[in-house]
A = this chain, B = another copy of it.
């Protein structure tokens, strides 16, 4: 599964431009999938070439044309086939946790700064998840609600864990730093 699949998925709800698909990624999918213009536009071009979406140029006043994409029947079938064939994976790559693992090699103030920055990032993410949830006027799919609930729960748990345990970690490495210096 790649960005193409997500583009097809986004188009099941309604027709969208590439730009709007990017927004969609940032709003609704941000806590579990990221994609930038550099992936989305080439994906859309490829999907058009393969007939899975079709593209209509809509002239606009005072703006260049926009390209509105819509899902074809073939595209819908391809999406379902792709979903049926996708094994459920969930990958995390956390440079933050790597930094924490080697916290004892860093100045304690730096560790505190890193932990606070991470908590702030998660707070921002939680705010955007809440906002997303409040925009649901019965129009979200049940799965979308499930994913939003997941985000609130799991990102919330991560945020709290770090917030609750960072002081302890910093205190421990501070002790170690002190005893290392005494040993010199």
A residues near B (Cβ < 8 Å) are 1, 5-6, 9, 12, 29, 31-34, 79-80, 83-84, 86-106, 110, 114-115, 117-118, 121-122, 141-144, 146-147, 149-150, 153-154, 157-158, 161-162, 165, 169, 172-173, 176
Contact = CB atoms under 8 A, between A and B. Distances in A.
A70 to B, nearest CB: 16
A172 to B, nearest CB: 4
A147 B100 contact: yes
A162 B141 contact: no
A92 B95 contact: no
A104 B169 contact: no
How many copies of the polypeptide does the oligomer hold?
Answer: 2
Contact of A146 (B93, B158, B169): B169
A142 to B, nearest CB: 4
Given A83-B105, A117-B88, A1 B95 contact: yes
A173 B147 CA distance: 14
Contacts of A90: 92-97, 118, 121-122, 158
A105 B83 CA distance: 9
Contact of A97 (B32, B117, B121): B32
Nearest to A115: B88
